[in-house]
A and B are shown apart, each in its own frame.
Chain A
Amino acid sequence: MARKYSPDYWSPREGIGAFLPWSGTYRTMRARNARTGVRFIFPFIIGFLLFMLMPLIQSLQFSLSNVKLVPGEGYSLVWNNFKNFHYAVAIDANFNKAIVDESLKMVINTIATLVLSFVLAVILNQNFKGRTLARAIFFLPVILSSGVLAGIEQTSSSSFNIMTAVSQEAASASGVNLSQSLQNLLSVSGVGSGALQIVFDMIDAIYDIVMASGIQIIVFLSGLSAISPSLYEAAVVEGCTAWEAFWKITFPMLSPLLLVNAIYTIIDFFMKSSNSVMENINTLQNSSKYGQASAQSWIYFGVSLAFIGLSALIISKGVKSSEN
């Protein structure tokens, strides 16, 4: 062995300058590649430090202090002993209620979105006439329910949604609301009414759920198109029915994407500007209560992180057990 090069990216001989992404000094191919890689992700590093980390730290400071804006100079901070968090949890009348409400809604919404987008992806993956058109229409919500449209739509969709219009019309004409009476019938039949209520809520919210599941359908579809058709052929040869093939092939192959979709749905739901927690934070911000607003958004961030972690745990456990 003539000479042993350090396998590391950096050896002290290269000096501090080697850490700079435009530095040309390197001793090994690996070090050279590493430097090229850092050069490629350099925009992200700069952006993260300047426009994410710094504001995050400041926002944490805000949430822990009394913030006063001083015109022309920025702001002054006075440490106030977690008063902002105390305000969010114990004093603000809306915040706790909003968070609990939104979380409940989020759980129901996520489950419904996952189920619906899964089913729709499986259907849209089959061969039938007009598939391209159907796909195009189902991805339309990616455009139609984004940004300002989602927030505005929520206030206006109820009055222009033909479902509600027709059922109201029917109710006023005959005095009987068909879906309502069906609900009553099912509730009387004695099946757990709590669970049923959740199902009814989902059905009532089907418009919102379809509008929120465009991306999820695309993700599932991509997973479906990656499954090799020979798997199904083998299954048919072995005498597998379509139902069995679904549970033994399709479902296990798509289950990793469940997690991706679940996380996407949760984030999407929590970050909607029409969300009542977001509204609460925005109102605080607009009335210059920056400290309280930051504290609330940190709590909210914590809650959403907890939900993401929880869903990751549940789904990865579930995926493992279905594989065994």
Chain B
Amino acid sequence: MKTDVNALAENGKTISRNKKSGGYILKNKTKKWTVSIVRALLLFGLCFMIIQPILARIGVSLMSEKDLYDSTVVLLPRHATLDNYRIVAELTALKGMNNGAWTFGSMLNTLWVSLVSSLFQIISCTLVGYGFARYSFPLKKLWFALVIAVIIIPPQTISIPLYTNFVNFDIFGIFRATKGDSLNLLKSPLPYLLMCLTCMGLKDGLYIYMLRTYFQGIPKSLEEAAYVDGCSTMHTFVRIMLPDAIPTIASCFLFSFVWQWTDLFYTRNFFKTFDMYSIKLNSIAGSVSGYFSKGNSATVQVAPARVQQLINIGILFCIIPLIILYIFTQKTFVQSIAMSGSKE
């Protein structure tokens, strides 16, 4: 009862205040409400658009083949089955085709390649970014322009020479002289890891740029104080600069991990001999027909809708680990990038 009275009094006050202000308060309130409603609608629509394909994929992935051709089945399966997952797992080498054991072979390969290569990338890029941010040396501008050039030059331009060089690897003919043949390095992960260590991996120019921008924003007096106290250059870098930079480095690491995970270009060129998930995923469409016609004498034609369904499950397998990672590290992803960018 009391609260009602209070509310009424409050209302009366607001109304009289509104009158006094010549309708300004009402106008303002209406404006605010309209803006927030329009904003909510827009954001909801766009968010829905981003999320919806994932949900639709999950729905479609559970459908049996019958449901795919049934036009009354749109979102949810009528005859739900988990069989599709098994087929895709076998197609993408997550599961052994013969013994039927879940080995996650291609996924584990992708995992360690992504982990190691992004670790190497970030170590080298942090060093280089720090060098560009803090020291002046001859031809610095030229070298930095070349970092930008590395961002801009499409890796496709150099993929053929790289390939031929690594296939017939030889340093001044030493291997040919001693062993009689040049080395084929492409059977090992060495070439790509070497490239990561020397800042030539996937999108490394971007990480150098980001880390340089970050280091430029840190006050110089921090290091000067360390130098005055007798700290060496390397020591200052490791003890003073690195601890502060960890959020930015972490976000660069996450980016490089995620992009390496889904990368097709470098993977296709340098990890051909490994079972890598992105390659397997890309070739699902090609290998489906062979899979279904195994044991049959004639090749089975697989309907396009069915192939699409299997590809979608493959995509789900690929993004589920990433989404779990993203849920836990969302803040690192966004915030430190925002921080590093703000100092441009």
Contacts and interface: CB of A to CB of B under 8 A. Distances in A.
A297 interface: yes
A206 B136 contact: no
Nearest to B51: A137
Of B47, B137, B344, most A-chain CB atoms within 10 Å: B137
Contacts of A163: 49
Contacts of B124: 43-44, 47
Contact of B49 (A152, A206, A222, A256): A206
Contacts of B143: 41, 44-45
B226 interface: no
B137 A151 contact: no
A51 B51 CA distance: 39
B8 to A, nearest CB: 28
Contacts of A89: none
A211 B46 CA distance: 10
B contact face: mostly helix, strand, loop, or mixed: helix
Given A140-B326, A210-B50, A160 B57 contact: yes
A305 B161 contact: no
Interface in B129-165: 130-132, 134-138, 140, 143, 146-147, 150-162, 164-165
A126 interface: yes
Interface stretch (A28-36, A244-252, A313-321): A28-36
Of A37, A138, A148, A160, most B-chain CB atoms within 10 Å: A148
Interface residues of B, number: 91
A37 B333 contact: no
Contacts of B312: 156, 160
A56 B132 CA distance: 24
B181 A256 contact: no
Contacts of A290: 160
Contact of B311 (A156, A278, A285): A156
Given A55-B165, A149-B315, A37 B140 contact: yes
Interface in A137-183: 137-144, 146-149, 151-153, 155-157, 159-163, 165
Contacts of A267: 151-152
A10 interface: yes
Contacts of B341: 218-219, 222-223, 257
Of A38, A126, A211, A222, most B-chain CB atoms within 10 Å: A222
A128 to B, nearest CB: 6
B150 A48 contact: yes
A143 to B, nearest CB: 5
Interface string A265-299: 00100110100001001100100001001100110
A123 B39 contact: yes
Nearest to A288: B160
> How many residues of A sit at the interface, in one of the four size bands?
35 or more
Contact of A36 (B74, B135, B138, B162): B135
Contacts of B159: 285
B278 to A, nearest CB: 4
A55 B162 contact: yes
14 contacts: A36-B131, A38-B138, A43-B197, A48-B200, A128-B39, A128-B40, A137-B50, A140-B323, A148-B281, A156-B308, A159-B305, A222-B337, A223-B344, A301-B157
- Which 9 A-B pairs have CB atoms at the shortest separation, nearest pair first? A37-B135, A40-B131, A47-B198, A222-B341, A147-B262, A58-B161, A55-B158, A55-B161, A34-B137
Interface of B: 36, 39-40, 42-43, 46-47, 49-54, 56-57, 60, 74, 124, 127-128, 130-132, 134-138, 140, 143, 146-147, 150-162, 164-165, 168, 181-182, 194-195, 197-200, 208, 233, 255, 258-259, 261-265, 278, 281-282, 305, 308, 311-312, 314-315, 318-319, 322-323, 326, 330, 333-334, 337-344
